[in-house]
Amino acid sequence: MDREQLLAVYNVRRDRIKSRLGEFTRFYNEPVSWFYEEKSMVLKPVDRDHNERIFEELCFCLMTANTSAEMGLKGVDGIRKILFTGSLEDIQLALADAGYRYPNKRAEYIIEARERFSDVRELVESHEDKKKLREHLAENVKGLGYKEASHFLRNIGVFGLAILDKHILRTMHEHGVIEGLPKSLNRKNYLDIEEKFIKFADELEINMDELDLLLWSMKNGRILK
């Protein structure tokens, strides 16, 4: 697919993409949570503490690593009621029952994050620089790298950070933005490729967060999160 075709697909999906990005901001500002129903994402009002909802989103991003958004959504639905009270074994069992792929290891990450970060909202709002916030998350939350930290921040309405998953990288390679697919992404590689992604978005005259959802949806067929 050449760039003209890419822009044509964007014009068709633009309104839905913008709507989804608006929902990320709404999620952070309003008492709502995501639910996975009939293979789609739905925001519903909930009577829950703001910090609980934000921590839940952090856990979602922990659970999408090496799996999928759908798998992460199923995992969150499975542990939502015990996320703040369940033991390690409780969360492992709940994830397994939900059909989550890595129940044991991800439960360990969730418990550790729960113990270390009692107020995720305060952590987010204490950093004015989004790149420094991402770096802090990637360095201090076990199981969260630059991609997952960028993913989490985008999902709570912090925009302007590239989420370099395999679909985005593959599309960048197809369009000659990067020479090859990296075997791994260390900090330097990630930041270098992020700059190329931003330049790619500028050349297309598409907002980088919109481009991310566009490319992701073109590989997966849906606009999730």
pLDDT band at 106; cut points 50, 70, 90: very high
How far apart, in whole angstroms, are the C-alpha atoms of residue 181 and residue 172? 9
Q: Does residue 127 surpass a pLDDT of 80?
A: yes
Catalytic residue among 2, 81, 90, 165: 165
- Architecture field, domain 30-155: Orthogonal Bundle (1.10)
Q: Catalytic residue at 219? A: no
pLDDT band at 182; cut points 50, 70, 90: very high
Strand partners, 37: 40
User: What pLDDT digit, counting tens, does each position of 135-167 carry?
Assistant: 999 999 999 999 999 999 999 999 999 999 988
Alpha helices in 35-159 (DSSP H): 50-64, 69-79, 88-97, 103-116, 120-125, 130-140, 146-155
More confident call, 160 vs 120: 160
Catalytic residue among 18, 39, 147, 225: 147
Residues of the chain within CATH 1.10.1670.10 domain(s) are 3-22+162-220
How far apart, in whole angstroms, are the C-alpha atoms of residue 105 and residue 162? 26
Residues of the chain within CATH 1.10.340.30 domain(s) are 30-155
Q: Catalytic residue at 130? A: no
> Which class is 3-22+162-220 in CATH?
mainly alpha
Burial class (CB within 10 angstroms; exposed 0-12, middle 13-18, buried 19+) of 59: buried
pLDDT band at 10; cut points 50, 70, 90: very high
How far apart, in whole angstroms, are the C-alpha atoms of residue 63 and residue 70? 10
* pLDDT for the residue numbered 220: 77
User: What pLDDT digit, counting tens, does each position of 55-80 carry?
Assistant: 999 999 999 988 888 899 899 999 99
